[in-house]
Structure 1
Amino acid sequence: MATELSTRTREWLDEYRERRTVQDWLVDIGPFAMLILLVGLFSFTSDVFFTYGNFMGVLKNSTILLFVALAGTYPILQQSIDLSVAANVGLSGVVTAMLVGQFGLLALPLGAGVGLVLGMLNGVVFTKLKLPSFLVTLGTLSVAEGSALLLTGGSSVPFRNATVGWIATGELVPTIPNLVLWGALFYVVTTFVAWKTTFGRYCYALGESESVAELSGVDVDRYKIGVFVLSGLLCGVAGALLAARISSGAASMGDGLLLPSIAAIVMGGTALTGGVGGPHRTVLGVFVIAVLRNGLDLSGVHPFVQEIILGFVVIGAVWMSMDREKIDIVK
């Protein structure tokens, strides 16, 4: 019996390997290979790079990007996209900063709740009005940015509250910033949701074939709205933690997060055509982006040149992860 099972396993593995293309292997091992390559390269170009202090700095500086990338992963899994993530971070951060003086620690969940509401707005408009997700979220991007500017008058909103600041900058575990612990916690939670819950399985099902999922009795609109609510909540948490970290809120605090988050998602192995990848892969893309930026900074590369490099990285990542058979359904 054991021999028979072993034979069947080998046959299945052989068949699986035959079905896989070069592109499949690139998506699987590409992020790992690129991360190892970057670490090796920058270790030689900078004496500071391969140190514990710099490593923790990379983790801390990439945590907000991790939240935003995790937020964007779920819509992409179901063949949609959320372009409002960065603006959501800004609005949530502004509301958090404005409420700290009156509510203290309670301002953090209240600010995160703003992100959740914006995400719900995205999902409802997307599903009920039958509009493309990129157009809906492009519109709410403008709504969120305008609302943040209106609330602040275009200025930053500083505050002083040591307890709120400690939530992001303190060290519950010695030498590890709390911000890093928050990132690790939400990474584990979102990965669990994707792998072990009905909600997560239906996200993948919608990405594979929305029509088949609907014929199987899945309440498609419900799960689409749920995905955008989750995305908005994660952005709201990111905005609240960012405000706590810098003790201030500003409409522009989410600027520069949208493109790197999309780069991290597709570089990690979540295809824009949906149904492939997930949050467990997104973290790899975040690490690649974070290490790349940190290494380029230490190497003295001009920030404008870094943006050019990042743009080419995005193009390459999309090329590797795109399923050509489903390219006509990207929306």
Structure 2
Amino acid sequence: MQSILSRSIKGPIGLIVSILVLIVIFSILNPRFGSIENLQNVLYQASVPLIVVVGATLVIQMGSIDLSVEGVMGASGMAWILLSPNTRHALDLGPWAWVIAIGLGLGLGLLSGLVHAKLKVPSFVVTLGTWYVGLGIAILLYGNGMLPSLTSEALARWPSRLSLGLPNSFWLAAVVILGGILASNYTGFGRGVLAVGNNETIARGGGMAVDRIKIAAFTVAGCLSGLAGILATMQLGSGSPDIGFGQLFTVIPAAVIAGTALGGGEGGVLRSILGVFLLIILNNGLVLAGVDPDFQSGVFGAILIVAIVAVAWPTRGALKVAK
């Protein structure tokens, strides 16, 4: 257990320093950045990518990648709102709306895992296809009728409502994070994911059910993307096939910045969480610093490159780089 703990805390020092530096800089540029209200806002903004990054990290640790996030979020989000109190019709399945919507995400993740593991199709190709399958489902559910918006004020306000001083959406993400850390560090499944990422051939030779591990990882990732789609829909208050837009380009860089090697076998959920916070704080700080929206993307990218170098440089000798 001590070795597991040491692996969990080893490496993020540069990332933590980068986050602290950003906090100091943005607090100087705008004192509002360090306020309690903005801290709550940062946690609220981070909730969706924090949920997604748990599943994405498991997949990346195997040396694979999941590009289906946005499509799965759109499909699950649309399914959920159409089965919850909304302006299009009176159908309300209550908790079953959550079960069905998350089940849809689980099914899409399972599809990706089966095709990748059993048919040996590269994960990049498979999940790109699943992305468009999910997007297609979302568009079909969206249809040409009235925009489905939540009519339940309790549901619409739940993500931003505070419990013990923190947004409910963050508490939901915290539960997912805890489950991800426990599964990754203290279960045979988590150890299997790392073993497959380190050397799939050796893992198979050692008797590991590699295909089963791959399918399980993609299924978990799809399930969590589905949950994230529901939460994002609640935050928006209405359904949209594009509810997951931009999440992929937050989650993947966050995991990589945090030391989850694209070649597999490195990193962990806890590190990826820090990566998400770095990117969310960076984006939030640029807005409060008054950076022109036309230049935010360029400034964000430049600072992101510096952050990647700062975090990766101390462990550059151990990084797996795809050439």
Q: Which residue of 2 aligns with 1:62?
A: 46
**1:71–1:85 contact (8 Å) kept in structure 2:** no
| Structure 1 pair 55–132 and aligned structure 2 pair: CA distance change class (3 A) | same
Q: Deviations over 1:85-135 (max 9, x none)?
A: 122111111110011132023212221111111100100011111111001
* Structure 2 residue 51 is matched with structure 1 residue 100: no
**2:58–2:193 contact (8 Å) kept in structure 1:** yes
- The number of residues matched between the two structures is 303
Q: Which has a greater percent of helix?
A: 1
| Structure 1 pair 135–251 and aligned structure 2 pair: CA distance change class (3 A) | same
TM-score (norm 2): 0.87
State the alpha-carbon separation in 2 of the partners of residues 294 and 57 from structure 1: 9
State the alpha-carbon separation in 2 of the partners of residues 120 and 322 from structure 1: 34
State the alpha-carbon separation in 1 of the partners of residues 18 and 319 from structure 2: 26
* Structure 2 residue 117 is matched with structure 1 residue 130: no
| Structure 1 pair 125–316 and aligned structure 2 pair: CA distance change class (3 A) | farther
State the alpha-carbon separation in 2 of the partners of residues 304 and 29 from structure 1: 32
**Which residue identity lines up with residue 189 of structure 1 in the other structure?**
G
Cα distance, 1:234 vs. partner? 0.7
| Structure 1 pair 164–293 and aligned structure 2 pair: CA distance change class (3 A) | same
Q: Which residue of 2 aligns with 1:34?
A: 18
Q: Which residue of 2 aligns with 1:190?
A: 180
Give SS of 1:232's match: helix
* Structure 2 residue 232 is matched with structure 1 residue 249: no
**1:71–1:231 contact (8 Å) kept in structure 2:** yes
State the alpha-carbon separation in 2 of the partners of residues 164 and 110 from structure 1: 17
* Structure 2 residue 76 is matched with structure 1 residue 85: no
| Structure 1 pair 282–324 and aligned structure 2 pair: CA distance change class (3 A) | closer
**2:261–2:319 contact (8 Å) kept in structure 1:** no
Q: Which residue of 1 aligns with 2:150?
A: 159
Cα distance, 1:62 vs. partner? 0.8
**1:206–1:213 contact (8 Å) kept in structure 2:** yes
Q: Which residue of 1 aligns with 2:228?
A: 238
| Structure 1 pair 323–228 and aligned structure 2 pair: CA distance change class (3 A) | farther
State the alpha-carbon separation in 2 of the partners of residues 263 and 93 from structure 1: 24
Q: Which residue of 2 aligns with 1:141?
A: 131
**2:142–2:240 contact (8 Å) kept in structure 1:** yes
Identity %: 36
**1:94–1:249 contact (8 Å) kept in structure 2:** yes
Aligned-residue RMSD, C-alpha: 2.1
| Structure 1 pair 146–323 and aligned structure 2 pair: CA distance change class (3 A) | farther
Give SS of 1:300's match: coil
Compare CA radii of gyration and give the structure with the larger one: 1
Structure 2 residues without counterparts, runs of 5 or longer: 1-9, 86-91
Question: Within 5 Å, which residues of 2 pair with 1:250-329?
Answer: 250-312=240-302, 320=312, 326-328=320-322
Cα distance, 1:162 vs. partner? 3.5
